[in-house]
Chains A and B, each alone.
Chain A
């Protein structure tokens, strides 16, 4: 029996985010919120382990109230429980404050065997919450897991992607892993799941419910701060080669020669 927790984040679908060249602002209209793609694979892996060994999968997320929709989506995929950490006091959290709050949320579940996170969230691409969370909970962790080769109630053996191959790593449970997309193919919601997701009340925990240290959450608990946001500026002075292809090619050959490439 495995008590599994999966951490998911709701993110804007950044493939659709574009910059309005005139106003230099992000164009948001029509940009939907989705479950972070890597976290979909984390949910899938949790479900697969539960199907093999029995137990339950709880999905947890910290964010504004609308994150409830993403948690309902997780229910439709077949997870057992959901928890939303939502409170104005959590706002402005960087990865340190996020991992602290999630750790408190997970402690409130109790007796967790395995925590699964996505490799990174596509809005910030930091990949820091997973390892940070493991540290707050004093658990071992392994990042970039592309395969869970073996898991029982005492330990877990995984393949971890590294720059030039992979490592086979074994950890004592409880432990945390972060997963890459290659780990599995995600499933579609089931009819039963969809029906359940329509009825379910999303349980919300606030900072007070969790008895957190208020100095460690949200903006106050975030050592890092954004001081400016800007759109990448055009810097180059471009010299355009005119003329027929042969002429242009010739000019390029000249450049390559000057640079002593040829």
Chain B
């Protein structure tokens, strides 16, 4: 067993309380680790006297210094680059700058030259472009082979992928083939300046706790990031970069998977991930009919409608609108939470918002701990008044404008 207690243990029992698995028992004033211990390390960190040690045998034969640069997987569908790619470019550039390395995007598909040129303007040093009709539609086996081939050739130190259906399928396959670590659904990334390793933070246990994860001895360090968590990169005129055209022999590559048809189902898809303003309703709204007031306010402000799982489960609004751990992650300029208590699972989906406004009749609701502005009161009283005031203001502005012309 590779977890042990040293003589400095004072038998305080903090480790037992901190164990997320209930896998520690105190016996004769010393912790005993039960069979369901997963060696997660929570106790090591919690111990006030550093008396718990987890021994891990480092098994790898790669030279870490050979690996350099931050890569972003340039996911595309139908020749359009997914929005999460721009978010990863924004974040990836920060990481690359901290490491003093290059930010590169790997882009696969067909006729993507223009897109590659565009990407440079967002702060990408290098775009590795590989064009082939076999790469037009995503295929797990073919993409895995191509990505691992390029990793072996260029040896990147970090690879970021969107936590999309593609990224969450490709990432683990690539990581398994090259035997490296992959951290799913990260909400925060940073560099440990001392060791130069990637710090990957993500929610765990239904969002109740956050964990920071590292992949110290293997390369590349891989992470998927949910769309909407990071801020999109901005275009800057002084960015310079190059496009490197790759040439990879795909003729012999075969796949046992065939995509026969792609069916688009949602015509007017709710793109709350891209909205600047979101008005969201929770259980406090009360009913499907009463949800109209939320929609009305959103319309008036030119925003989108969000919802908690409670509202979605009650059938007041469709799942596309759900924000949170099992819904979407959003980061609008303004998030107005109406009748929402502020459960962690909801918060993880909207905390990156610039300004959070909460309307709730319970002054103790935990949403008020996260809000920038709080309105304590009944949403059914406040919102209609708000709508009137905004509408009046608009009329006034319009009247003023027409009086001028």
Contact = CB atoms under 8 A, between A and B. Distances in A.
Contacts of A241: 373-376
B398 to A, nearest CB: 12
Interface in B332-349: 333-334, 344, 347-348
Contacts of B325: 125
A241 B360 CA distance: 12
A96 B210 contact: no
B261 interface: yes
Question: Interface residues of B toward A: which range?
Answer: 35 or more
Given A95-B172, A165-B266, A140 B355 contact: no
A255 interface: yes
A167 B22 contact: no
Contacts of A127: 168, 172, 184
Interface stretch (A15-23, A49-57, A72-80, A184-192): A15-23
Contacts of A245: 377-378, 381-382, 385
A253 B265 contact: no
Interface string A160-198: 111111111111100100000000000000000000000
Nearest to B347: A232
Contact of B217 (A66, A96, A167, A223): A223
- Does more than half of chain B's interface fall in helix, strand or loop, or is it mixed? mixed
A252 interface: yes
B63 interface: no
Interface in A203-262: 215-216, 218-232, 234-242, 245-246, 248-253, 255-257, 259, 261-262
A253 B372 contact: no
A131 B301 contact: no
Contact of A12 (B164, B184, B205, B357): B205
A122 B169 CA distance: 17
B369 A238 contact: yes
Given A167-B259, A230-B209, 17 more contacts: A14-B208, A63-B36, A92-B2, A133-B176, A141-B140, A162-B165, A163-B165, A164-B264, A165-B262, A165-B263, A220-B59, A225-B56, A228-B45, A236-B369, A237-B372, A238-B374, A239-B372
Interface of A: 12, 14-15, 17-19, 23, 25-26, 28, 63-66, 88, 91-96, 99-100, 122-136, 139-144, 157, 160-172, 175, 215-216, 218-232, 234-242, 245-246, 248-253, 255-257, 259, 261-262
24 contacts: A26-B209, A65-B35, A123-B206, A128-B168, A128-B172, A131-B171, A133-B176, A135-B144, A157-B260, A170-B260, A175-B256, A223-B218, A224-B214, A227-B45, A229-B20, A229-B210, A231-B210, A232-B210, A232-B344, A235-B370, A239-B372, A253-B393, A259-B333, A262-B393
